[in-house]
Amino acid sequence: MNRPLRLESEDGKLYIRNSKKERVQGTSLLHLREIGRHTLAVVVPPASQRRYHGDLFIGAERQGALTIVNSVTPNDYIKDVVASEMPPGTPGEALKAQAVLSQTLLLRTGSRNDLGDSTEQQSYLGAAAERPEVNSAVRSVWGKHLYYQGLPVIVYYHSTCAGGTSEAAQYFGLKSGSLPYFKHVACSKCSASPFWHPTRNEIPLSVFAPAFGEGVPTILKRDEAGRALSVKLANGKALSGYDFWMRLGQSFGWDKAPGTRYQLTSGRDGAVVIESTGAGHGVGLCQWGASQLAREGKDFRAILNYYYSNCEVL
Ligand SMILES: [Zn+2]
C-alpha cells in the first residue's frame, strides 16, 4: 500500500517499527504476499533496493541479520534472470538462447530448491530488471530445454571467452570424456566486449603472500584455449588453474582477474601482476559471442549449437 514496513532483527526475533516509531515484536518469520501484479520492494539501508515479483519470506537470524527468500513463479524467475544476465540491446535470438539455458538450469535444479541470486548460479536482480523484449523472447521459447542424448545438459555460460571456450572435462579436472558437449570452441565473436582487452592488476606481495605464498606462481600447463590448467605456488603446492582463479577472486575480489585466461608476472617490489582477458570461467556459451552470432543472423538453436556440441532444443 506504498507504506514502508520497517523491520529489525535481534536475537533471532523479528521486530516491526510502527508509524509511531514504536517497536512491536512480530513472529520470527514474516510472509509478505504479492497482491495482483504489484511488486514488493526491499530496501536495505543505505543504498540497496530491489523489487520482486511473487511473495517474500523474511526471517530473523541469531546475529541480527535478516534472511529474505523470494517465492516466485518459474516464468517470472526466468524473465528476470534473462533480463539480469543479458544487458539492454541484446538481440532477441541471443535472449532466447539464454532463456533456454536458464530454463534448463532450473529444470536440473528443481523448482522446489532454493537458488541464490548471484552469478554463482544465475544473476537475479528481481522485477526492476524486467524488459518487454526479454518477456517476449522468454514467451517464444517457454518450456524449451537443451538436451544431450535425451538428458537435459549441465548448464555453463559466461560473459566473455575472449578467444575460445574450454573443454569442461579437462578444465574442471573431471573424468575424461565427461560432459562431452563442452568442447573447445574458437570464438572471436565476443571482441566487442570490454573484457576482450586485458585487465591488469598489481597485488603487493604483502597482500598476496598470506593467501598464496611468497612469490609469483608458475603456470605449468595451459589448455587449447590458453587457460591455465595447473598452477604451482611459490611454496611448491600445485592447484588447478580454475581453483587458483576461484581463490584469487574470493581473496581479492573478482575485478582483479575477471577472466580465466590469465598471465602471472612479477611487478615492482615483488608485487604479483595479474593480466587477464575475458570474464567468467570460459566454459559453455559465451554471452557476448551469442549476441554477435544473433546480429549475424543466427537463430537461438544455431547459437546454442555453436557452444554446445551435438545438443538439441526440445
Ligand atoms: Zn567468446
Distance CA 93, CA 299 (A): 5
* Half-sphere exposure at residue 232, Cβ-oriented, CA atoms within 13 angstroms: 5
Could you tell me if 241 and 272 lie in one domain? yes
pTM of the model: 0.92
Domain-terminating residue out of 53, 71, 89: 71
Q: What distance in angstroms lies between residue 233's CA and the mean position of ligand 1's atoms?
A: 29
Q: What distance in angstroms lies between residue 158's CA and the mean position of ligand 1's atoms?
A: 9
- Report if residue 188 sits inside a domain: no
- Report if residue 186 sits inside a domain: no
Q: What distance in angstroms lies between residue 139's CA and the mean position of ligand 1's atoms?
A: 26
Copy the grid coordinates of residue 242. Answer: 580454475
Q: Could you identify the residue written with the cell 598470506? A: 210
* Nearest by Cα to 263 from 222, 211, 293, 292: 222
Could you tell me if 91 and 239 lie in one domain? no
Q: What distance in angstroms lies between residue 262's CA and the mean position of ligand 1's atoms?
A: 15
- Report if residue 119 sits inside a domain: yes
For residue 238, the tally of other CB atoms under 10 A from its CB is 13
284 neighbors 157 (Cβ within 8 angstroms): yes
Q: What distance in angstroms lies between residue 103's CA and the mean position of ligand 1's atoms?
A: 22
pLDDT tens for each residue of 184-200: 999 999 999 999 999 99
The total number of structural domains in the chain stands at 3
- Report if residue 175 sits inside a domain: no
Q: What distance in angstroms lies between residue 72's CA and the mean position of ligand 1's atoms?
A: 32
Could you tell me if 85 and 150 lie in one domain? yes
Could you tell me if 309 and 258 lie in one domain? no
pLDDT tens for each residue of 186-242: 999 999 999 999 999 999 999 999 999 999 999 999 999 999 999 999 999 999 999
Q: What distance in angstroms lies between residue 196's CA and the mean position of ligand 1's atoms?
A: 9
Residue 39: band (very low, low, confident or very high) from pLDDT cuts 50, 70, 90: confident
Is 1 a residue whose pLDDT tops 70? no
Could you tell me if 241 and 300 lie in one domain? no
Return phi, psi of residue 148, to 5°: -125, 120
Query: Which residues have their alpha-adjacent CB atom under 5 A from ion ligand 1?
Result: 161, 187, 190, 286, 289
Domain that holds residue 66: 6-71
Residue 36: band (very low, low, confident or very high) from pLDDT cuts 50, 70, 90: confident
- Report if residue 177 sits inside a domain: no
